[in-house]
Chain A
Amino acid sequence: MSESYLDDHLLISRAQNGDRSAFNALIRKHEARAYQYAFRLTRNPEEASDVVADAFVRIFNAIHNFKGQSAFTTWMYRILTNCYLDLRKKERNKVTTSLEGVLQTDDGDVERQFEDPSATPYEDTERNVRERSIESAVALLPEYQRAMIVMYHAESMTYEEIAAALDLPVGTVKSRLNRARVSLRELLVKDEELFRI
């Protein structure tokens, strides 16, 4: 049986005792899931791969501190989110020129980034257009809201799991998610207006 199918706790316990093959099995078991989450946050394969690689380095360095009080995946999501936020922070420190400026929201400035400009909505079915516009709108949310939206709606995590991953009270997660959904509607309305031109 492949080690990738072993229980996380067993793999972690072996990794904590210096078994590098157990740590590799842990990577193989979770790298796809980690990448999907990172890609949904970044919408960029290169950046998503960097986020995942950085996250596994942090996990490697801190594996002996993992006490199993939460699921390994919850811990992984927390580290992935932190790596993603660090990446964005680094990018913000670089000088950039925005064509669209910023949109003010309750949770801070929203960067106006339009992804994948090469594809046009006219080439796809209406359903695909709608799906892409929701993905683009999610990409316009502030990072923390984006992470919550992806965790809940794409990764199917519960409020409690999100709270554990982000180290926030459940009530805060619920209220921030509500605010993110309301903000998203406003972004989608703007997006629809653009399509009408």
Chain B
Amino acid sequence: MNHDKARDFFSSYYEGSLEGGLKQSFELKLSTDASLQGDYAAFVETIRELDTLRFEEIAIPVFLSDRIATRLEQVQEKPKFGFPVWSNWLRGFAVTGLAAAAIVFALPFFNSNKGASTADLVASGSNLDQIRFKVDGSKLVLQYQPSNPKTLVISSPTTGKEIQRFDLNSQRVESPIENSLANPAIFKIQPIGDKNSSLVAVPGQSPSKAKTGEGSVQDLSLALAGHYRIPVVIEAADVTHRVSWNFSTSDVRVAANQAVANEGFSVDQRPDGLVVILDR
């Protein structure tokens, strides 16, 4: 054991947790190396000085509580477009059931055309009134910009209960969607007054081991999201159509195609990983 290596064991030797051969080697080196003895004595002195840190009296500033409250108020005031704040959707999910509780719409990012970059304007101009999803890192993000004032409603397709609504003028809404429950959950996103809506299945926190099953296309999307940990969007008209599945492959697109290919649907997988089931 050399000098530098011996210094690595100062703490564990001081705490009595160095055992066996290492302890013997350390003590042998310590007994024969005067420089190490000096270093260790200084180390012990440092530990004793460090232990005085807990006795330091620290006065709490009188402005601390106000500063925390002000900062929290600022955060709550940020969304100025009349959508429910954090506490409201939390209260909401208590009455909308488990499926609704699964989703976390983080504070959405709103952007009016005035503040948008040229690239944003070009992109948003071509996508007006379209509900779009993208996968950003590990997060699913909902994007929507109406051409005229609209209300976007997020609900549970299984219970029909509303989870959240955004009152929009012509702002672009961009809201990350997270599912904090163990199992996947499915959500319906619909602008009020529009015929078209989107369904999206969001993976939960735990992967599903189930490889086989049968049910509706909606059930398939949940099974895919749970097993492959990838969000699945349904853009097909008949989501109640019965299908069966067997996830024998590691490729989610192949697995989904095998389940729906002979049923009048097709499957697309976008470069960001998002799986889309659509009418053929």
* A interface residues with partner B (beta carbon < 8 Å): 16-18, 20, 27-28, 31-32, 35-36, 39-40, 45, 49-50, 52-54, 56-57, 60-61, 64-65, 130-131, 134-135, 138, 149-150, 153-156, 174-175, 177-179, 181-182, 184-185, 188-189
Contacts and interface: CB of A to CB of B under 8 A. Distances in A.
Contact of A185 (B43, B52, B63): B43
Given A36-B58, A153-B50, A153-B51, 7 more contacts: A40-B58, A60-B72, A135-B53, A154-B54, A175-B8, A178-B12, A182-B7
Contact of B49 (A31, A35, A134): A134
Interface in B27-59: 39, 42-43, 45-47, 49-54, 56, 58
B162 to A, nearest CB: 16
A153 B61 CA distance: 23
Contact of B11 (A57, A155, A174): A174
9 contacts: A17-B91, A40-B53, A40-B58, A57-B72, A153-B53, A178-B8, A181-B10, A181-B50, A188-B46
Contacts of A130: 49, 52
Contact of A174 (B12, B42, B104): B12
A149 B61 CA distance: 24
Contacts of A181: 10-11, 43, 46-47, 50
B94 A17 contact: yes
B109 interface: no
Nearest to B59: A45
B24 interface: no
A49 B53 contact: no
Interface of B: 7-12, 39, 42-43, 45-47, 49-54, 56, 58, 60-61, 63-65, 67-68, 70-72, 75, 86-88, 90-91, 94, 104, 106-107, 180
Contacts of A184: 46, 50
B74 to A, nearest CB: 8
Most chain A CB within 10 A, of B8, B56, B64, B67, is at B64
Given A32-B60, A56-B68, A150-B53, A18 B90 contact: yes
B90 A17 contact: yes
Given A65-B180, A134-B49, A52 B68 contact: yes
A53 B68 contact: yes
Contacts of B63: 49
A53 B71 contact: yes
A138 B53 contact: yes
Contacts of A52: 64, 67-68
B65 A153 contact: no
A177 B11 contact: yes
A54 B37 CA distance: 45
Nearest to A152: B50
B46 A31 contact: no
Contacts of A149: 50, 53
A72 to B, nearest CB: 16
Nearest to B46: A185
A35 B72 contact: no
A31 B68 contact: yes
Contacts of B75: 57, 60-61
Nearest to A149: B50
Nearest to A55: B68
A57 B74 CA distance: 10
B10 A134 contact: no
A53 B63 CA distance: 11
Contact of A154 (B8, B39, B56, B88): B56
Contacts of B94: 17
Contacts of B106: 61
Contacts of A61: 75, 86, 106-107
A49 B69 CA distance: 12
Contacts of B10: 178, 181-182
Contacts of A64: 90, 104, 180
